[in-house]
Amino acid sequence: MSLSGLSEREAEASRQKYGLNERTIDINFAENIVAGITSLSCKLFTIGAMLKIVALLLGLLEVTAPVSDVSGIFVLAGLAVLCALLEAVISYVSEKRISEISADAKHSSYTVLRGTKPECIEEKMLAVGDVVYLSAGDAVPADGIIADGQFVVDQSEFGMLEKAEKTTPPSSFIGNRAMGLKSAYSLYKGYVITAGSGAMKITATGDNTLLAEKTQSNIRIHSQESDTIIRAGGIVSAVCAAAVLIFCTVYGAFAGQLAEGLLEGAVAAAAVLAVGCLCGKNLITEAVASGVMKSLAMKKINISKPDVLTDMRDVKILFADKSGAFTEESCVVNGFVDGVGNQIDRIEEVDEKIISLIKTAVINTSTAQLENDNAVHGGTPADRAILNFVKRVPVRIRVKKQASAEKGGISGATVNLDSKLVTFISGSAELIINKCSESFSADGKKCKITNKDALIKLAATISLTGNDVVALAVCDRVIKNEKLPSGTYTLIGMLTVHSKVCSETGEALESLEKSGVRTILLTSASRETVIYTLKKTGKKSKGVILNSEQLAKMDDNELRKRFSEIRAVVNADTADKMRIVRAASDQGLKTCVIGSEYCDSHMLDETDVAIASFVCASSIRSISDASANKCGLSAAADLCTGAVKFANICRMFASVRILCAVLLAAITVISIIGG
């Protein structure tokens, strides 16, 4: 297809008409000053000062006793000015932080067509009408329509927790239709190209993009909890103000100075209310949240949905999948162990028949998906790493998948291999080896397994060094009714996967626990891998490590009783994770799941908040309380601890404000009695 883009003159004319491709959020300190002056606390202190002036005038007119001390007028006026400045500064700082986070990157460059010649230009210089080339890994720089090529896109910026379907022309018809977007041909700023390549023609830039409209509408951050605390502060302040007014009036009446008492009470009540209402419109909430968001943005954590901070305000317990949320580069296959225990450094040394079995087993049992363009999507980081490893193995396979099943940390698939139905399984080495009676050696020979314990011990030893061990096996029976076939299998071998996840998980758990968030590790990995991970927390781990079988033997009552003891569940499948989440919910705990998108997508309806590394591999309908953040487990821990910090500071400020209102009321009463 022949494409042609704008000339430099046309591009400049387009920029003059539509503006640069960047966000322009104007922050005006003068407007914040006006807002501060019109704030309730400033108004109330001003009213107090005016009442003092009224008292002074009434004294001069001899209606009431003369007022000798006029310093109170200046004190109240000064407090009014101080409140106006304080609210203006807090509002200004908050808006400035938000604008910095919302502003687009100024350093990205894209290849565009200037006429028919490609040219690399800065993102902010892109113009409406430009033809831009995109490939896997690129962020879509503006709104537009597909001009050529095929794409798979991540739409999580718009709340879509699913992988977009490829179409021809590409982009996501299903996703776009679900969001009410214009057409299957549209791409929007905020999308990320996960696979494919091609060109798009820009239709909107900068403030005119759909993302700009959506982010602008979500700039203010409020939460139900902070609103409740603020209302409580307002009620306490109103009660204290009413009490002071009534006391002063009654006291003045008994002293024969009803008018003086009423005026003094009104001044004191206004001051109490002003203290209680200081920054009362969630201003402190917004300032704290924006500060947390800025610190997270500096750590390269995607926080496109500020609501995640308020959604997580009540987190008491957090469930973290060991696999976390990482890119493929965090995991790499670093070895192979054949069925008799020989450790093979190079896969080329293995018989071609065994290589073919390994590749067939991995492709058909993996939670990750190998697309037609040879790109790998979805699944856990370990599964993506293994699938990326076997796809490069130079062995062609032609199989047809018939059925699949998953149980207790084991994935299985029945395939038609050379006109014969066989079932492959993969999973934890201990679980797989215990199902096997025979094994293959590296040279393709089959033999009886004489020492299972030695193989299991070898896998455990490897796991204790921070490597995952994934075993593969095959049998000549088939899956029926989604149940794995019983009987014995033949062990193909074990792949070892080195991962940065274990070390970073330990650091993340330590960070979370220091913030007062309790963690439970739910993982398909082995006990040894979990022990290695927990050691990385820097302290001796307390609690019980259960496996899937032990958890299955517990009824719901026993699980609830022993829930506080559980530190981790190993060899866990989705059903095990669901049981733990439900047990937490039964005890009134708010739950948050951090993990890979595929394994945990089924639990989004059960948990309060979910943080995933990428878009989910399956369609999620209930996504109102879910958040997709392209970050690792360590970054997700920062997100959670930031939310805890946000909630704690907001509570502290609300408590201080209530305390100050009560103390001011008490001091007023004591000073009147003492005077």
Task: For 71-118, write each residue's pLDDT tens digit.
Answer: 888 988 999 999 889 888 888 887 787 777 666 545 578 999 998 888
Residue 355 pLDDT exceeds 80: yes
Within 536-621, where are the H helices? 548-553, 556-562, 574-586, 597-600
- CB burial of 424-434 (b: ≥16 within 10 Å; e: otherwise) equals bbbbbbbbbbe
Measured distance CA(404)–CA(423) in Å, rounded = 9
pLDDT band at 217 (very low <50, low <70, confident <90, very high): very low
Average pLDDT over residues 396-404: 84
Question: Which of 2-6, 309-313, 378-382, 561-565 shows the lowest mean pLDDT across its residues?
Answer: 309-313
pLDDT value of residue 68: 73
The torsion angles phi and psi of 467, rounded to 5 degrees, stand at: -105, 140
Structure tokens at 577: 């994770």
Residues 6 or more apart in contact with residue 321 via CB below 8 angstroms: 380, 521, 522, 523, 577, 593, 594, 595, 596, 599, 600
Which has the higher per-residue pLDDT, 489 or 297?
489
Residue 528 pLDDT exceeds 70: yes
**In which order are the strands placed within the sheet that holds 143-154?**
117-122, 109-114, 131-135, 192-204, 143-154, 186-187
Measured distance CA(429)–CA(414) in Å, rounded = 20
DSSP β-ladder status, 117-122 and 109-114: antiparallel
H or E element: which one contains 530? helix 527-535
Residue 426 pLDDT exceeds 90: yes
Measured distance CA(409)–CA(342) in Å, rounded = 25
How does DSSP classify residue 480? Answer: B
Q: In the chain, pLDDT over 70 holds for what percent of residues?
A: 77
The torsion angles phi and psi of 436, rounded to 5 degrees, stand at: -100, 145
How does DSSP classify residue 485? Answer: -
How many C-alpha atoms does 251 have within 13 Å on its Cβ side? 19
Residue 282 pLDDT exceeds 50: yes
8 Å CB contact between 202 and 146: no
Structure tokens at 664: 């001011």
pLDDT value of residue 619: 30
Residue 564 pLDDT exceeds 60: yes
Average pLDDT over residues 128-139: 85
pLDDT value of residue 216: 56
Which has the higher per-residue pLDDT, 599 or 232?
232
Q: Which residues pair with 473 in a beta bridge?
A: 425, 491
Question: Which of 7-11, 171-175, 474-478 shows the lowest mean pLDDT across its residues?
Answer: 171-175
Q: Residue type at 480?
A: K
Q: With left for phi above 0 and alpha for psi between -120 and 50, is residue 312 left, alpha or beta? A: alpha
Q: First CA to last CA across the chain, in angstroms? A: 92
Residue 547 pLDDT exceeds 60: yes
pLDDT value of residue 326: 32
Task: Write down the CATH superfamily of domain 331-497.
Answer: Calcium-transporting ATPase, cytoplasmic domain N (3.40.1110.10)
Residue 458 pLDDT exceeds 90: yes
Question: Which of 165-169, 377-381, 481-485, 625-629 shows the lowest mean pLDDT across its residues?
Answer: 165-169
Nearest to 245 by CA among 231, 266, 214: 266
pLDDT value of residue 213: 73
Which has the higher per-residue pLDDT, 254 or 440?
440
Nearest to 263 by CA among 245, 287, 250: 245
Nearest to 482 by CA among 563, 414, 575: 414
pTM summary value = 0.64
The mean predicted confidence, pLDDT, of the chain is 78
8 Å CB contact between 529 and 545: no
Give domain 8-16+107-212's CATH number out of 1.10.579.10, 2.70.150.10, 2.102.10.10, 2.120.10.30: 2.70.150.10
Residue 491 pLDDT exceeds 90: yes
Average pLDDT over residues 201-229: 69
Measured distance CA(250)–CA(253) in Å, rounded = 5
H or E element: which one contains 195? strand 192-204
Which has the higher per-residue pLDDT, 603 or 244?
244
Measured distance CA(379)–CA(387) in Å, rounded = 10
pLDDT value of residue 315: 62
pLDDT value of residue 305: 52
Which has the higher per-residue pLDDT, 492 or 295?
492
Structure tokens at 299: 């750590």
Q: In the chain, pLDDT over 90 holds for what percent of residues?
A: 17
pLDDT value of residue 614: 45
Which has the higher per-residue pLDDT, 639 or 556?
556
Residue 168 pLDDT exceeds 50: no
pLDDT value of residue 166: 37
8 Å CB contact between 48 and 83: no
pLDDT value of residue 325: 34
Burial of 326 (0-12, 13-18, 19+ CB in 10 A): buried
Q: Where are the domains of the chain?
A: 8-16+107-212, 29-102+218-285+653-674, 302-326+502-630, 331-497
Residue 500 pLDDT exceeds 50: yes
Average pLDDT over residues 61-74: 78
Nearest to 501 by CA among 330, 297, 622: 330
Measured distance CA(382)–CA(598) in Å, rounded = 12
Measured distance CA(159)–CA(210) in Å, rounded = 13
Residue 616 Cα distances to 317, 364, 370, 601, 621, angstroms: 23, 19, 15, 6, 11
Residue 161 pLDDT exceeds 70: no
Residue 503 pLDDT exceeds 50: yes
Residue 416 pLDDT exceeds 70: yes
Question: Which of 172-176, 513-517, 541-545, 661-665 shows the lowest mean pLDDT across its residues?
Answer: 172-176
Q: Residue type at 631?
A: C
Residue 53 pLDDT exceeds 60: yes
pLDDT value of residue 2: 64
Dihedral sign computed on CA atoms, order 295, 296, 297, 298: positive
Which has the higher per-residue pLDDT, 390 or 608?
390
The torsion angles phi and psi of 638, rounded to 5 degrees, stand at: -60, -40
- Which CATH architecture best describes the domain 302-326+502-630? 3-Layer(aba) Sandwich (3.40)
Average pLDDT over residues 446-463: 91
